[in-house]
Amino acid sequence: MKPVATCPAILIAAPASGQGKTTVASALARLHARQGRRVRVFKCGPDFLDPHWLTLASGQPVHQLDLWMTGETDCAQRLHDAAKECDLIIVEGVMGLFDGEPSAADLAQRFGLPVLAVIDASAMAGTFGALAWGLQHYREGLPFAGVLANRVASTGHAEMLQAGLRDASQWRGALMRSDAFTLPERHLGLVVASELSDAMQRLDAAADALAATPLGNMSTADLQAWSTTFESPDSNDAVFPATALKGQTIAVARDAAFCFTYAANTDCLQQMGAQIVYFSPLADSALPACDALWLPGGYPELHAEKLTANTAMKTSIAAHVAAGKPVWAECGGMMALFETLTTSGADSHAMWGVLPGSVTLQKRLAALGPQQLEVSGGVLRGHAFHYSTCATALPVAARTQAAPGRKLWGQGEALYVQGSVRASYFHAWFASNPAAAAALFLRAQHAG
C-alpha cells in the first residue's frame, strides 16, 4: 500500500489572468500563518514572480507544480511531503482555470484539489453568477470550493453579486477594491516583493480584508472541508546522482536584476552535492570563490546603468570565463553577457561583453511557452518568457523543442556556446533531468 498523507488543500483559480489570484492566495497564506498554522504554498505552472509574494506570505519556500514541466510524479511527491507536515496547502493556479496544456483544472482533478474561483467583479453584476456556474460545471467531476468576488465596489455591489449565484452555498465573500493591498505590476508580471518597502504591510492589509469574509473566517475545524489525501508516488522519475557535483561551489547571481530562480532548482543542485554561494552583480565587486557560475533570469534592463557602472564585476566575470570555468546563463543572465543592451526606450548600455552581439527590448512579448532543450547529459524541460530579442554572430548550438502537443513561437530558443559559456533564453527545471542539469556546471562537460 502506498504511503498517504491528508491535509486541507485548496487551488485558487480564476477565469483569466489578472483577476487577483496572487493577492487572494497570499492573503489566505498570510492570514493562516499569522494564526500559527503551518502553510505551504505552491504555484501552478512556470512562474518566478508570484512565488516571491507567496513565499513572503507563508514564510516557506514555494515550489512549482506542472504536470508536464515538473512531471506528475514530482507533483505527487511534493504535495505528499507537504501534507505530512502542514496544516494547510494552497496552490495558486495559472492563467484561467482551463487555460494551457496542462491546465490548473488538470492539476486540480488529478490530485483532488478543491477549486476556489476568484473573479474580478469590478465591472459586472448578474454575469458574476454565470461565470461562477460555468467554472464549476464546465468540467464534470471537478472539485469545487466556491467563489470569491474581487475588487468589489461596495456592500451593495457585493449583495448583487451574491444574489446572482444559482447556488448560494458557493459564496465565499467579497474583497473590496483597495490600494492598500494592490500588488503592482510591470512587464513580465508582478513587481518583486523585495523591491517594495511596504510589501508585508500590503499582505497584512489583504489578510485583514480577507478575514472579514466567509473564506477568511474559517476555523481549523472548518478547514477540514478541504481535506485531501495525497499518495506518495511509487518512485521518483528524477534520479539525483548524489555525488555529481560533490566538491563544486556554484556562485548564483541574486539581486533585483537577477531574481528569477526556482527554489527547487537550488535544492536540486544541493542534492547533487553542490555548495551554493550567492552574490550581487549590482553591489559586489567580484565573484565569490567558485567553480561554476549561474546567471539566472531577471530584469537586467531595469538596472542596466548600474550593471554597466560596476566595471569590477565585469572584470571578475571575464576572468572566470577566461579561466575556463563553466557558466550557465538563462534569459536575463544571458542578456547581461552580450556587448550591448538597448531598452524599450532606445537607451543603449554597454554590458559585460562576454558574448558578441546585442539584445533589444521589444514593446511586445517575444516568446512564451513550455519547451525542452537537449544538452550534454540529456533533455531538460522548462519554459521561455521574454520581451527582448538578440542579434549575434554566434552559431546556434541547439534549439528548444515544443512541449508535446504544443507549438513554439518561431523556431525555438537558441542555445549559444562559447568556450565554457552556455547561454539561452530557455529557463530550465533542473529536477526534470538532474544529470543534465549537473553537466551545465561541470568543467569536463565544457572541454573543447
Same fold, 4-231 and 249-446: yes
Instruction: Report pLDDT digits (tens) over 151-164.
Output: 999 999 999 999 99
Instruction: Report pLDDT digits (tens) over 109-140.
Output: 999 999 999 999 999 999 999 999 999 999 99
Which residue is catalytic, options 7, 44, 331, 390?
331
Mean pLDDT throughout 393-421?
91
- Categorize the per-residue pLDDT at 142 as very low, low, confident or very high, splitting at 50, 70 and 90: very high
The pLDDT, as a whole number, for residue 86 is: 95
CATH of domain 4-231: 3.40.50.300
- Categorize the per-residue pLDDT at 306 as very low, low, confident or very high, splitting at 50, 70 and 90: very high
DSSP state, 297?
B
pTM of the model: 0.93
Instruction: Return the C-alpha cell found at 35.
Output: 494564526
Mean pLDDT throughout 375-383?
93
On the question of pLDDT at 445 being above 70, the answer is no
Instruction: Report pLDDT digits (tens) over 194-244.
Output: 777 888 999 999 999 999 999 999 998 999 999 999 999 877 656 788 899
CA pair distance 43, 58, nearest whole angstrom: 13
Instruction: Report pLDDT digits (tens) over 164-197.
Output: 999 999 999 999 998 887 877 656 666 776 777 8
CA pair distance 158, 410, nearest whole angstrom: 45
Mean pLDDT throughout 357-371?
89
The pLDDT, as a whole number, for residue 189 is: 67
The pLDDT, as a whole number, for residue 104 is: 97
Backbone φ and ψ of 11, nearest 5°: -110, 120
CA pair distance 17, 93, nearest whole angstrom: 10
Q: At what angle do helices 104-111 and 72-85 cross, to 10 degrees?
A: 60
CA pair distance 175, 299, nearest whole angstrom: 31
Domain boundaries, the chain: 4-231, 249-446
Q: Is 75 a catalytic residue?
A: no
On the question of pLDDT at 446 being above 60, the answer is no
The pLDDT, as a whole number, for residue 448 is: 42
Q: Name the CATH superfamily, with its identifier, for domain 249-446.
A: Class I glutamine amidotransferase (GATase) domain (3.40.50.880)
Q: Which of 203, 201, 317 is nearest to 258 (CA)?
A: 317
CA pair distance 71, 63, nearest whole angstrom: 13
> Is the N-terminal amide bond of 102 cis, ω within 30° of 0?
yes
